[in-house]
Structure 1
């Protein structure tokens, strides 16, 4: 998901934006007059700062290009022109001098939509009531990372992970070849801590990421034996991944992994192991 802003407050037509403590560096503010859209009203709004790709989807890699530039105004200005950011508003915390955190989400949503906030650098995306399965399929087909499901009666609970707000990720599947592994530590000593996987294109194995979760202890032990039998001194990837202590194997083991989406470089984001595919050979992935 895109980096989330703490909150943006507009009081008396002025913007008050505390730096989000979980960001490693501040994201330069998009120069848009959101306060003008509120007029004389005061509000504390909750939302996300996003950078959009060519298809209008949130792109975390693009957003990262806007961080760490607070000490370089000239570079920040260049990147602002090259990678514009967009503020997506999805809740209201304080409105016209009174807190609204105790109101149910359905009422807060009405208040937010009543502000009519839609501009060149901000928007209030539509909320879907019901039809969760269809919304999830739409998110999957659109290549989105997932959905946030909120109970209509839920209150706004600052600083807590509420069970009434649930993140539902879209997981996709990919068949990959194991090209290497990283030895585990601690209780995983002698076992693979993670495997390095790739995808074959035009006869070459391209690195797609490292997978370190998804096995039971029995499955990890079985995989260790298979990896030892396939040991090799040669890196099978077109470019050796920058991973310290990697051990290479012949790319003959096919596995299936879950992931959320792909980076611009084709890497798998948040991959986890699903299963071995003994029914497939490397040639099946060509």
Structure 2
């Protein structure tokens, strides 16, 4: 059967729904992986398409067996491919070694042996017929009735109500966050909808500024990004670059502070080898927020919060993993 191509529905960043509306929403764990639409034509075949529409089936050979899971029933499913770490949490850095291999089947097969992926299924848009006009609650019931559970795929449950508790559980377990979905929401292909809300768990940490990268265009002469680190056993360890979070006035004020502490010597224990970097004496302390860390200790998605003139560089102890 020729299945309809369906672009994935997208969530809008936001906060938990008001407490008075809590019972009208379902809550799912936000996954840290690659979004895919799964096409099962009912002939034993399988096709995976990324959010861009690119066919990525070849990158994940361990998922091919899912093609026969529903027999002759044609279906289009929504999900996310993750690479679980030792605790079963999706690790995007691990997944990166699996992405981009759709046209390299031999290499994809070798990587699958060492870094297997898992497909998390959370919606069904087509099941013998188009389901996109049905409310989320009915689609979810039909998805769960399929009982799709296998060695490399599963259908985790969704919680109705209790949003605050669900979010706290994701934080306690170091998970990416939460996706809130209105029970009466239809599936809107390709739309970033307010009926789906995503909440990322972010963390804040003190960092020491060790360098900066000049901005371009309208930011010419101003810092485009800061190179930051944290103290660990007396060493200043590089933890990444921060390029967002300032107002125009904030960047200008920061530029003056950076010029006052310029140096030609890289202050980090190991030179991060960032082309165009300009170094500064490690005297400025700031606070940044971030989502997670890579296994190497780098901050993912960092954003500047504020300067911390109340902290001396030696006071900003590291929380490196």
- 3-state DSSP class of the match of 2:62? coil
Alpha-carbon displacement from aligned partner over 1:10-34 (angstroms, at most 9, x marks no partner): 2334223054363696523315532
2:123 aligned partner: 91
2:296 aligned partner: 265
Task: Flag the structure with more relative contact order, 1 or 2, with Cα contacts below 8 A and sequence separation at least 6.
Answer: 2
* More displaced 10-residue stretch of structure 1: 261-270 or 77-86: 77-86
* More displaced 10-residue stretch of structure 1: 191-200 or 63-72: 63-72
2:277 aligned partner: 246
Query: Which of 136, 150, 162 does residue 181 from structure 2 map onto?
Result: 150
Question: Does residue 65 in structure 1 map to residue 112 in structure 2?
Answer: no
- 3-state DSSP class of the match of 1:92? strand
When the two chains are superposed, the root-mean-square deviation of aligned CA atoms in Å is 1.7
* More displaced 10-residue stretch of structure 1: 33-42 or 155-164: 33-42
1:76 aligned partner: 108
Aligned length: 284
Q: Residues 276 and 163 from structure 1, CA distance in 2 versus in 1: closer, same or farther, beyond 3 angstroms?
A: same
Question: Does residue 12 in structure 1 map to residue 42 in structure 2?
Answer: yes
* More displaced 10-residue stretch of structure 1: 225-234 or 215-224: 215-224
Unaligned 5+ runs, structure 1: none
Query: Which of 137, 141, 150 does residue 106 from structure 1 map onto?
Result: 137
1:32–1:121 Cα contact (<8 Å) kept: no
CA distance in 2, matches of 1:204, 1:144: 29
* More displaced 10-residue stretch of structure 1: 26-35 or 268-277: 26-35
2:239 aligned partner: 208
CA distance in 1, matches of 2:80, 2:63: 16
- 3-state DSSP class of the match of 1:125? coil
TM-superposed CA distance for 1:144, in Å, is 1.2
CA distance in 2, matches of 1:71, 1:214: 38
What are the residue-to-residue correspondences of 1:38-57 with 2, within 5 Å? Answer: 38-57=70-89
Q: Residues 75 and 173 from structure 1, CA distance in 2 versus in 1: closer, same or farther, beyond 3 angstroms?
A: same
Alpha-carbon displacement from aligned partner over 1:184-210 (angstroms, at most 9, x marks no partner): 122212211111000110111111111
Unaligned 5+ runs, structure 2: 1-31
TM-superposed CA distance for 1:69, in Å, is 3.2
CA distance in 1, matches of 2:287, 2:136: 39
Alpha-carbon displacement from aligned partner over 1:27-61 (angstroms, at most 9, x marks no partner): 23315532443234221111111110011111111
1:32–1:120 Cα contact (<8 Å) kept: no
CA distance in 2, matches of 1:77, 1:92: 28
CA distance in 1, matches of 2:161, 2:51: 34
Question: Does residue 190 in structure 1 map to residue 221 in structure 2?
Answer: yes
